[in-house]
């Protein structure tokens, strides 16, 4: 089947078409799945398209059309799903529709990672295995707008068009290397991780990148301006970066911390959309930060490495384990961070496990990871 022929699709935006699509999915064993969201254009992000490919038949389901989706989603949840970098898609589907996969999931990006490939993107993998060049035109468009353009449709279809073939190639390689069980466990862990959202810590949410050199008084302005931006983004239903960029917040905070009059004419340049009521609200936020007593200024929070009290573990053992994990990863042809992230090694050094199960709990790590590093870990801790 040529790529040109296979790009035919059914656009599902009415109940009869949804019923027809659902009936087709009922007969399928596996389904290639992708979604498009509008996080680059809206504060309240949502799934705007659900793309499916089943044995050469392609469907674009429009969840923004007035259709009841429960039966369709129920059927979809029972099937083996093929995704690429599926964590985002599953999180978005859960947030927008409550969807949770109950069948198996085969993630092609995770497969490529476990095979040791450097380039993990769909475009690179399709080019490598299928000798097909995909275009990314339309990737950053507003998927909530209707009607969709031809470029958007092509982009959406391409995201699922080759997933089944790609999955077959990657599965063959995983089997040759004896890593299919690794992949299954990694996909299961990924699916589990998308089942919940960590509650947002109000004292952490505003801590944007680049604050390490700022003083506590300057941090007070960052915090106040960040919450101003969040409120304005929510009211306008825009992503926060379209209200004010992170670097602009830092520059403005540093300036405001040393200038008693908020937003004088000689102050930092503000975004063009910062005027009227929005500008007035920003001035109030800055004034509030200026009046904040020193006792309420935020301080730098210690990172995980500090809070875990690494002084309580043996540095010699820790470095030996890190070196050993890197050696094992190189021998397997994968990244050390894929085998055992630094935080996992810290947990192992502290809890000093002796069995695979104990290593899994100490990391935490998956069974395949713990099994690979166990001999070296036991040797080091025994020494």
**CB distance 34 to 134 below 8 Å:** no
Tell me the pLDDT tens digit for each residue of 278-319: 999 999 999 999 999 999 999 988 655 444 455 568 899 999
**CB distance 325 to 340 below 8 Å:** yes
CATH code, 224: 1.10.150.80
Nearest-angstrom CA–CA distance, 27 and 61: 18
Tell me the pLDDT tens digit for each residue of 153-177: 999 999 999 999 999 999 999 999 9
Last residue of a domain, one of 161, 193, 225: 193
**Residue 257 falls within a domain, yes or no?**
yes
Structural domain of 330: 305-382
Main-chain phi, psi angles of 255, to 5 degrees:
-65, -45
* Residues 228 and 354 occupy one common structural domain: no
Query: How many independent structural domains does the chain possess?
Result: 3
* Residues 124 and 238 occupy one common structural domain: no
> In 181-297, at which residue ranges do the beta strands (DSSP E only) sit?
none
* Residues 224 and 259 occupy one common structural domain: yes
DSSP string computed for 191-212: HHHTT--PPP-TTTTT--TT-T
* Residues 235 and 159 occupy one common structural domain: no
Q: Return the pLDDT at 275.
A: 93
Last residue of a domain, one of 261, 278, 296: 296
**Residue 98 falls within a domain, yes or no?**
yes
Q: Return the pLDDT at 383.
A: 63
**Residue 246 falls within a domain, yes or no?**
yes
């Amino acid at each position: 089947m040529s790529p040109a022929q296979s790009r035919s699709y059914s656009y599902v935006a009415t109940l009869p078409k949804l019923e027809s699509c659902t009936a087709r999915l009922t007969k399928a064993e596996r389904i290639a799945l992708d979604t498009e969201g509008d996080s680059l254009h809206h504060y309240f992000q949502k799934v705007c398209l659900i793309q499916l490919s089943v044995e050469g038949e392609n469907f674009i389901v429009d969840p923004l059309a007035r259709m009841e989706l429960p039966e369709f989603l129920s059927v979809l949840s029972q099937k083996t799903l093929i995704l690429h970098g599926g964590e985002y898609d599953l999180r978005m589907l859960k947030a927008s529709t409550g969807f949770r996969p109950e069948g198996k999931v085969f993630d092609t990006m995770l497969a490529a990672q476990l095979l040791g490939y450097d380039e993990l993107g769909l475009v690179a993998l399709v080019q490598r295995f299928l000798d097909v060049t995909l275009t990314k035109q339309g990737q950053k468009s507003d998927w909530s707008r209707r009607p969709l353009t031809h470029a958007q449709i092509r982009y959406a279809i391409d995201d699922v068009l080759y997933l089944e073939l790609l999955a077959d190639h990657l599965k063959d390689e995983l089997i040759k290397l004896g890593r299919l069980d690794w992949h299954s466990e990694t996909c299961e862990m990924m699916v589990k991780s998308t089942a919940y959202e960590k509650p947002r810590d109000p004292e952490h949410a505003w801590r944007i990148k680049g604050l390490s050199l700022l003083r506590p008084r300057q941090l007070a302005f960052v915090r106040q301006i960040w919450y101003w931006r969040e409120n304005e983004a929510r009211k306008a239903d825009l992503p926060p970066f379209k209200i004010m960029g992170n670097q602009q917040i830092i520059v403005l905070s540093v300036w405001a911390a040393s200038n008693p009059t908020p937003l004088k004419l000689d102050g930092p340049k503000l975004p063009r959309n910062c005027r009227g009521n929005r500008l007035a609200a920003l001035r109030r936020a800055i004034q509030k930060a200026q009046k904040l007593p020193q006792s309420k200024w935020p301080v730098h929070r210690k990172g995980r490495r500090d809070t875990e009290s690494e002084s309580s573990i043996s540095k010699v053992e820790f470095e030996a384990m890190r070196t050993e994990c890197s050696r094992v990863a190189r021998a397997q042809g994968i990244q050390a961070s894929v085998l055992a992230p630094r935080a996992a090694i810290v947990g192992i050094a502290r809890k000093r496990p002796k069995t695979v199960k104990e290593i899994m709990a100490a990391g935490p790590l998956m069974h395949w990871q713990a099994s690979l590093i166990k001999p070296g870990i036991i040797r080091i801790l025994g020494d």
